[in-house]
Structure 1
Amino acid sequence: MSHHSQDKKKNRHMIEKLVVLVQLLLSAVFIMVAWDSGLLPVKYVAAVSALLLVLFGICFGMQYIKNKVHIVGVVLSVLISIALVFGNIYLSKANNLLKDVGGAAYKTDNMVVVVKKNNPAKNLLDAKNYRFGIQTTVDQENNELMKEDIGKIIGREMKLIEYETIQEEAQALLDGKVEAAIYNEAFTGIIEENIEDYSSEVRILYQYGIDTPLEVEEKADVLQPFNIYISGIDVSGPITTNSRSDVNIIMSVNPTSKQILLTTTPRDYYVQIPNISGEQKDKLTHAGIYGVDVSMNTLESIYGIDITYYARVNFTSLITIVDALGGVNVESEYAFSAGGYDFVQGTNHLNGAQALAFSRERYSFAEGDNQRGKNQEAVLTAILQKAMSPAILTNASQIIASVADSVETNMTQEEMAKFISRQLAEGTGWSIESTAASGTGDMQPCFSSGSQLLWVMQPDMNSVEAIKQKMGQLLQMQ
């Protein structure tokens, strides 16, 4: 054999050994990422580490065997390396998702200047000589910050006309008594309870985000029983933005007994909002205007519990999440039609759009909002059951992509990883039970909307007491 052929052979063997060393490097990276994420139980990381070392030993050893066995070793090494690349990408994505959605520590009030739709102003400077309407009853701290910000931009003092309620301010804008209105965008829902089609008559000229730290309970150990508040909002823009909470579900979790209790509280429940409404009462949904922590405080006072965590879900993103899961099986108490879809009594396999229509409908039921709350629990139960099954792995990348902008929680990446790792290690199924607070309809004034009478739900204290007992039993079970 010529020197040239021998050199070529040596070079080829060198490249083949380098391929196997790349496999070793990727194995080391995978082990570090898996360990750092905390997502995989220690016993799994140890088992995977041992397997990867054995595979490296086999592939590397094959390089010293003649009869072209070394080529098989190289092919095997390349295949393992490709699998490790995908494994590293998936683990990193999952880890980054937990970091992105977790650890939330602030809420955002989106203050706006609104003008009529056909107003010629293109920016605040065009509106510097306008009469600005402002309400004087609630949210005064944010109003003052907004006035300061506008004053800096227009370089002069505003012509301010004060109104007692947000509805009066909005009506004054539509009637031409003021050319612009200043308020917290979270109050739009309250305006629309009084003025139909309001949003189609106006446009936002300017907006200013005010971030405020959240005040929530001290963190608990996620391996001990805990409560998490699931708030379903229906707004566009950042998930941190304060908004009315249309879905209010408390998820009581007992990691030891593997039990979950989902409790829904109707959005129109007529209650006091701690540290906000004083002796006056308001709808539960309005608590969300003042921040997710205020909603949590309100629910804590209703049920006499501590709520450690929260998750805010943009309910329009329900479509993406359900579709990413490949659809879910939802149990319906009734046959009904909504949003152009027909739902049967019993099991319904729903895609995202169908699940959203199912969750929103209330007019088809004698119990109205009470039944809507139960249907929302049925959809959440179906999502949890699918998410806790091995089927989730086939759509992992889609789910990671869809959830990132749609969910926010104050549970940290470390806490979520600890909880997931425990679930993977034990692998046992969870039992999920649902319950719902009930009440009767009434017309009452609400703190957030002045003297105007709004439809509210007076709590049925018997149903509240029964829920308190259920929560207590689940959280104390070993």
Structure 2
Amino acid sequence: MKKFKLSNSPLAGIVLALLFNGLTVLLLISVGRYVSVAPRIFVGIVGAIVVLALLGNLFFILGYGYRKKIMRKTFVIYSIVLSIVLSVGSFYLVRVNTSIDALIEKDNREILEYNFVTINDFTTLETLSQDKSIGFVAGDIDFNESIEKEIAQHSTSVDIIEFNSYQEMLDDFLVEETLDVAILPKQFMSYASNMDSESQEELETATIIHTFNIKVKGEKSSNTKVLEEPFSILFLGINENLADSIILATINPQTLHVTMTSIARDLYVPISCYRGNVPDKINHSRNVSRNCLIDTINELMEIEIDFFIETDFYALVKIVDVLGGLEIESPISFAGSLPKEEDPRVTEDIHIPEGKHLLNGKQVITFARERHHFPNGDFQRQLNQQYVIKELATKIIDESKRNVETLIQVIRAAEDNIVMNMSVNNDISPLMGLALSNVAASP
């Protein structure tokens, strides 16, 4: 019986040829998203991949078409090595693409969590009836219909009351006690800051009798051509579902001019998703939904926001640590605190030294959040947040220029803590290419 040799089997040759050609196509598709980052390098990479694939196919034709024994052996060895290289490259790029896609919310969709809350021990989900009342803050038609549909699943006879703002509803719920059940967002304790101690205590001890989710959908991604016309990006720093940091950046790609405007989180403004645009703290609008906050800022600033990038504290911590720290100059030394990601109820003491130092992620976010130790309070905090963003962006670009692996690590570190509506092909890739080209051109 003849010993089986892989190179002598036409079927094995066909399988190997299909394998490396398939991997070649997959790799080309995966790398194609980044053509705008460095077009010349991209052309070189694509050219090299195509040449390697064509060479493999040439070995296949010579070995099995013209029955050249040496070519068959060469093809088998070459195709196996090439398949391994292409597999590693494809796997690497697919993981990167998956991480980036996890950050992107193209349709600005959001799943909102709401609660049926009561301060009456005798009120339960089963006792909702005609002699009970339930209230919610009215929004757009779709939102109102979703709330009413959820209520109807548990009672068709309960008295439904619509309110114009959470302050109005909580007055009836906690002070007047004329409302049996209030429908409140997940982080409803954020509304307790302006209440008296008695109302705060009642809200803290209130009972959640039901939790449900609502899906909302905002405007689709902007069609702005980011390399040709000015565009805006809204940076949102979220803490317990409130907008702790709000920075609106406008960018002109032709002049490379960037303007950053901070919006005070406690600013009282008309809230777009409240019926009648009732005024409230602007950061409270994020507790309703991301779309509510974006629409409120659109109306406040008389601008149409193109993109948003939303993150929590812990994304910044992880990114800075991946970069090996960030050099930040603080005019004073102070001690702050940061809630732990695994248990936000527990805080960790953080020290910020005076002067310019290499700070770790926890120190950087503590510096960016601080206002009480600075004479200018919230105004200084806004400036510090802009300062941190600029320094962070500069370091990411500089490090990525030296090592693309750094950019990949940054993306993967923050994939669970960042959401944006920028696309890779149309927005991120062209902007990265513009940034890297200008870094290369700078002295």
Range of TM-score over shorter length: 0.7 to 0.9
1:310 aligns with 2:308: yes
Q: Which amino acid aligns with 1:150?
A: I
Tell me which of 104, 107, 117 is aligned to 2:107. 104
2:336 and 2:191 mapped to 1: Cα distance?
25
1:60-82 residue CA offsets vs partner (Å, 9 max, x unmatched): 8899999x999899777655543
Structure 1 vs Structure 2 CA RMSD: 4.5
1:185-230 residue CA offsets vs partner (Å, 9 max, x unmatched): 4654123432546664234321233334425896321112211111
Residue 183 of structure 1 is matched in structure 2 by: 184
> Using a 3 Å threshold, how does the CA distance of structure 1 residues 79 and 342 change in structure 2: closer, same or farther?
farther
1:45 aligns with 2:49: no
1:70 and 1:48 mapped to 2: Cα distance?
27
SS in 2 for 1:190: helix
SS in 1 for 2:154: helix
- Asked if structure 2 preserves the Cα contact closer than 8 Å seen for 1:229 and 1:311, the reply is yes
Q: Which moved more, 1:9-18 or 1:197-206?
A: 9-18
Q: Which amino acid aligns with 1:211?
A: K
1:26 and 1:357 mapped to 2: Cα distance?
46
1:210 aligns with 2:214: yes
Listed as ranges, the gaps of 5+ residues in structure 1 are 236-242, 432-478
1:57 and 1:287 mapped to 2: Cα distance?
57
1:71-117 residue CA offsets vs partner (Å, 9 max, x unmatched): 8997776555434323223333333444441313345553321245x
Residue 393 of structure 1 is matched in structure 2 by: 404
1:295-352 residue CA offsets vs partner (Å, 9 max, x unmatched): 3454445555442222222334433343444443334343322122222334333333
1:228 and 1:280 mapped to 2: Cα distance?
26
Residue 169 of structure 2 is matched in structure 1 by: 166
CA shift at 1:248, angstroms? 0.5
Residue 247 of structure 2 is matched in structure 1 by: 249
- Asked if structure 2 preserves the Cα contact closer than 8 Å seen for 1:222 and 1:419, the reply is yes
Identity among equivalent pairs (%)? 21
- Asked if structure 1 preserves the Cα contact closer than 8 Å seen for 2:109 and 2:217, the reply is yes
Residue 88 of structure 2 is matched in structure 1 by: 86
SS in 2 for 1:311: strand
Listed as ranges, the gaps of 5+ residues in structure 2 are 338-348
- Asked if structure 2 preserves the Cα contact closer than 8 Å seen for 1:337 and 1:343, the reply is yes
> Using a 3 Å threshold, how does the CA distance of structure 1 residues 188 and 219 change in structure 2: closer, same or farther?
farther
2:315 and 2:204 mapped to 1: Cα distance?
23
CA shift at 1:267, angstroms? 1.0
1:312 and 1:160 mapped to 2: Cα distance?
33
2:146 and 2:428 mapped to 1: Cα distance?
39
2:153 and 2:127 mapped to 1: Cα distance?
14
2:168 and 2:278 mapped to 1: Cα distance?
15
Residue 338 of structure 1 is matched in structure 2 by: 336
Q: Which amino acid aligns with 1:31?
A: L
Q: Which amino acid aligns with 2:389?
A: L
Tell me which of 343, 359, 363 is aligned to 1:354. 363
CA shift at 1:247, angstroms? 0.9
- Asked if structure 1 preserves the Cα contact closer than 8 Å seen for 2:107 and 2:217, the reply is no
CA shift at 1:249, angstroms? 0.5
1:437-477 residue CA offsets vs partner (Å, 9 max, x unmatched): xxxxxxxxxxxxxxxxxxxxxxxxxxxxxxxxxxxxxxxxx
1:160 and 1:401 mapped to 2: Cα distance?
45
1:430 and 1:293 mapped to 2: Cα distance?
39
CA shift at 1:178, angstroms? 6.2
1:373-399 residue CA offsets vs partner (Å, 9 max, x unmatched): 222223322332233232673355554
- Asked if structure 2 preserves the Cα contact closer than 8 Å seen for 1:143 and 1:183, the reply is no
- Asked if structure 1 preserves the Cα contact closer than 8 Å seen for 2:23 and 2:87, the reply is yes
SS in 2 for 1:46: helix
Residue 30 of structure 1 is matched in structure 2 by: 27
TM-score normalised to structure 2 length = 0.73
1:248 and 1:393 mapped to 2: Cα distance?
29
1:222 aligns with 2:226: yes
Residue 116 of structure 2 is matched in structure 1 by: 113
> Using a 3 Å threshold, how does the CA distance of structure 1 residues 106 and 32 change in structure 2: closer, same or farther?
closer
